[in-house]
Amino acid sequence: MSSIEKIRHSLSHLLAMAVLEKFPKAKLGVGPVIENGFYYDFDFSADTCRLNTQINADNSHSHQRKSASNLRESAFGEEHLSQVERRMRELIKQNLIFKKELISYAEAKKLFKDQPYKLELIKELQKNKKPITIYKTLETVKGQKSIVKSQFTDLCAGPHVKSTKEINPDAFKLTKIAGAYWRGNEKNKMLTRIYGVAFETKSELDEYLKKLENAQKCDHRVLGEQLELFMFDEEIGKGLPLLLPKGYFIRRQLENYIYELERRNDYFHVLTPILAKEDLYKKSGHLAHYKDDMYAPIVIEDEKYYLKPMNCPHHHAIYKRQKRSYRDLPLRLAEFGHVHRFERSGVLTGLIRVRGFTQNDAHIYTDEENLEKEIINVIKLTEEVYKTFGIKDYWYRLSLPDFKNKEKFGDVKNKKIWERGSKILKKALKDSGHKFIEAIGEASFYGPKIDIQVKDVWGHEDTIGTVQVDYYSASRFNLFYTNKKGKEQPITIIHRAVMGAFERFMAFLLEKSCGALPLWLSPIQVEIINVGSAHRRYANFINQQLTTNNIRAHLSDENLTVSKRIREAEIQKIPYILVVGDKEVKNKTVNVRHYHRGIEGEIKINKLIEKIKTEIENKII
């Protein structure tokens, strides 16, 4: 354990100490180290119950009030965080010592007799014949080495700091409380988890908190609400996003953009149904390898249908529709394919992890000869797309099979061919000059792949695009082509998704720009603000001019003050704000304010239109 982890873990003990002082009946769960900090789980129900009965048993008015205030105190809330934090600081300054002891099972059970969760852990350690260690937090007499009293004892494997002297009292903070099931099992009791963050220095903490604040502000779920882009509805179902007009507008722009680009790169777009019969997924291997991620079947006229988790088998059916010759290859079939995957409710995250989404999917059917060239072309296409959106902070991950993992790769018959595919992917990355990391065991069940990875605003890693080689489906689906010698050969398939899922891509763009999307993607590009009703006619004229030039403008609500309207447009992150008053009417101009560039001042309307059109055309970020 690194020194910062020891500090974080020691803070979790101090947290438990401070909480127990205020809530002596609290039952302790566990308090481990996590990324950037620590947490501790508590069960506060003992205090609450006791006070509840007190209220019921006591009818005197004054007592009732007192009890009620006690009750409020008993349930741990956000308001207690700063008190506990303060107490932890005091404890740190006492230079408390952490001391490890090895004790017997019997001693442990006696020591933790009032702590049911600890007892459960002790019994488990005993069952597994694991030793029991405890950590005592001890107070020393001023200036002397002799120890006078133990302040707190926890069941713990350690390690810890030697003394709280090693902890900077100003470099930690309790951040939030949340519900958490005991041992992460939803059948168990819900405990109260108190989270904290800790660093070695205050400046590191400040920097982290600033990042956290930014993440909270730029989280796509927050922006989705603020900018009215998408919503979820419990009645419709978890993980099933509804795009609102502005959100769909952005989605449509993304689709139009990639459609045009793919057309220019000789892709042919198709549209296939969102479900298919059971046999198809038996054949494709999805039911053997991917069933846990699929929805349960729907029975129609005694036949089982599954919502498609991937578009591949549907595209294979299109490939098979006619005999293919080497002259037809490579064949690139693309689809904005609507797929459904079963994600557990606990992992659903806004538009990043959903149950129904649309992939920017394509399958390239090629002979081995063209395989590498096609992979390089996909990488080039990906780069072009990411450059257009100003995405720079992505990296490549080469995901290879782990043949020791029998469950996932056990039925791979021709390992040599997989190895060849892995080699070609690696070569394509190298030849196109990319750095990449290798991930053994992350390959898909049908072949090795390149994943394009990004981090969201919280620092969580996610796959945004993918290029996969498939040596599995050709034989399963009997996909052949006739080679130059007139011989039938199995086809090689590349699965690729450049933007991945449109939903996730949109979430990523929103977080990256903190909602201030590039001009060409903005649902409203220009907000027109007329100072008074006398300027309404002129504002209408401007609006009409912009609309005629395919610029999306909106007239602001005259009933609000000018400053309020400017603020509102800024909250909506509208790129251009045009203010028109007496001067602008007289000069046939507008007064321009740009979201990023600030006040740009008075400009002739024709000149502005030309400028905006150029910016849209060049997809200025």
| Closest residue to Zn ion in the complex (CB) | 156
Q: Are strands 553-555 and 526-530 parallel, antiparallel or unpaired?
A: parallel
How is residue 539 written in tokens? 């504002």
Task: From the candidates 286, 355, 495, 565, give the one annotated as an active-site residue.
Answer: 495
Work out whether 193 is an interface residue with Zn ion (CB under 5 A): no
Cα Rg of the chain (Å, integer) = 31
Whether 41 is a known active-site residue: answer no
Cross-strand pairs, 437? 397
Task: From the candidates 361, 451, 456, 470, give the one annotated as an active-site residue.
Answer: 361
Q: Applying CB under 5 A, which part among 248-256, 269-277, 311-319, 323-331 lies near Zn ion?
A: 311-319
Whether 460 is a known active-site residue: answer no
Task: From the candidates 13, 136, 359, 453, give the one annotated as an active-site residue.
Answer: 359
Helices (H), 265-405: 278-284, 286-289, 312-320, 368-388
Supply the DSSP symbol for 79. Answer: G
Which of 16, 609 has the CB closer to Zn ion?
16
Whether 115 is a known active-site residue: answer no
Supply the DSSP symbol for 71. Answer: H
Q: What residues contact residue 373 under an 8 Å CB cut-off, 6+ apart?
A: none
Total number of residues that touch Zn ion (CB under 5 A): 3
Closest approach of Cβ 269 to Zn ion, in Å?
Answer: 15
Whether 545 is a known active-site residue: answer no
Which of 243, 312 has the CB closer to Zn ion?
312
Q: H/E element holding 19?
A: helix 3-22
String of DSSP letters for 437-499: EEEET-SBTTB-EEEEEEE-TTS-EEEEEEEEEESSHHHHHT-EEE-TTS-EEE-EEEEEEEE
Which of 157, 242 has the CB closer to Zn ion?
157
Task: From the candidates 118, 193, 340, 363, give the one annotated as an active-site residue.
Answer: 363
Closest approach of Cβ 479 to Zn ion, in Å?
Answer: 13
Within the chain, how many helices (H) and strands (E) appear?
21, 28
Which of 360, 513 has the CB closer to Zn ion?
360
Q: Applying CB under 5 A, which part among 244-252, 256-264, 316-324, 494-502 lies near Zn ion?
A: 494-502
Which of 14, 312 has the CB closer to Zn ion?
312
Per-residue binder mask for Zn ion (CB under 5 A), 146-185, x = binder:
----------x-----------------------------
Give 395: exposed, middle or buried? Use CB within 10 Å, 0-12, 13-18, 19+: middle
Phi, psi for residue 515 in degrees, rounded to 5: 90, -15
Length of the chain: 621
Which of 156, 364 has the CB closer to Zn ion?
156
Closest approach of Cβ 473 to Zn ion, in Å?
Answer: 8
Closest approach of Cβ 157 to Zn ion, in Å?
Answer: 7
Closest approach of Cβ 469 to Zn ion, in Å?
Answer: 11
Which of 31, 350 has the CB closer to Zn ion?
31
**Long-range CB contacts for residues 603-609, cutoff 8 Å, separation at least 24:** 605/542, 605/545, 608/578, 609/545, 609/546, 609/549, 609/551
Nearest-angstrom CA–CA distance, 225 and 214? 16
Whether 312 is a known active-site residue: answer yes
Work out whether 495 is an interface residue with Zn ion (CB under 5 A): yes
Check the CA dihedral 245-250-253-258 and report its sign.
negative
Check the CA dihedral 410-412-418-419 and report its sign.
positive
Work out whether 312 is an interface residue with Zn ion (CB under 5 A): yes
Q: Applying CB under 5 A, which part among 55-63, 308-316, 328-336, 584-592 lies near Zn ion?
A: 308-316
Closest approach of Cβ 19 to Zn ion, in Å?
Answer: 15
Closest approach of Cβ 545 to Zn ion, in Å?
Answer: 47
Which of 218, 310 has the CB closer to Zn ion?
310
Whether 495 is a known active-site residue: answer yes
Check the CA dihedral 299-300-301-303 and report its sign.
negative
Whether 341 is a known active-site residue: answer yes
Task: From the candidates 8, 13, 43, 312, give the one annotated as an active-site residue.
Answer: 312
Closest approach of Cβ 38 to Zn ion, in Å?
Answer: 10
Nearest-angstrom CA–CA distance, 181 and 43? 10
Residues annotated as catalytic are 312, 341, 359, 361, 363, 449, 495
Q: Which residues bind Zn ion (CB under 5 A)?
A: 156, 312, 495
